[in-house]
Amino acid sequence: ELKVEQNPLFLSMQEGKNYTIYCNYSTTSDRLYWYRQDPGKSLESLFVLLSNGAVKQEGRLMASLDTKARLSTLHITAAVHDLSATYFCAVVLRHGTASKLTFGTGTRLQVTL
């Protein structure tokens, strides 16, 4: 059974600092998503990573994928308060004839002044 683990589970960081969230998964997959979720809200898609070595950047967030190590990272550069949210990685697997997303445990990010 696919397991997806994120660390840390909770991250408190000061504005202006850099940090990385890690996402490890246990079964081969070549498609991984990062989502943002604000309290009480739905999931907002941030990145889709499709192949080994893929790197995508949007603003202060950069995501990468290493399929051989089964590892994805979400790097935050010069954090700002607006980035405070919970971040999930999710791995796509075939489930019979369906495809399902298996989500990580989530990383709750709190950016303080």
Partner 1 sequence: ETGVTQSPTHLIKTRGQQVTLRCSSQSGHNTVSWYQQALGQGPQFIFQYYREEENGRGNFPPRFSGLQFPNYSSELNVNALELDDSALYLCASSLEGGFGYEQYFGPGTRLTVT
CB 22 within 8 Å of CB 7: yes
Q: Classify 1 as helix, strand or coil.
A: coil
Q: Is 94 in the site for partner 1 (CB under 8 A)?
A: yes
Q: Which of 54, 63, 65, 104 binds partner 1 (CB under 8 A)?
A: 104
Q: Is the dihedral of CA 14, 21, 31, 88 positive or negative?
A: negative
Q: Does 34 bind partner 1 (CB under 8 A)?
A: no
- Comparing CB distances to partner 1, the nearer of 77 and 108 is 108
- Spatial separation of the C-alpha atoms in residues 82 and 56, rounded to whole Å: 20
Q: According to the binding rule CB under 8 A, does residue 106 interact with partner 1?
A: yes
**DSSP per residue over 5-51, as a string?**
EEE-SEEEEETT--EEEEEEESS--S-EEEEEE-TT--EEEEEEE-S
Site string for partner 1, 59-88 (x = CB under 8 A): -----------------------------x
The binder of partner 1 chosen from 3, 17, 41, 81 (CB under 8 A): 41
Q: Which residues bind partner 1 (CB under 8 A)?
A: 4, 31, 33, 40-43, 45, 48, 88, 90, 92, 94-106
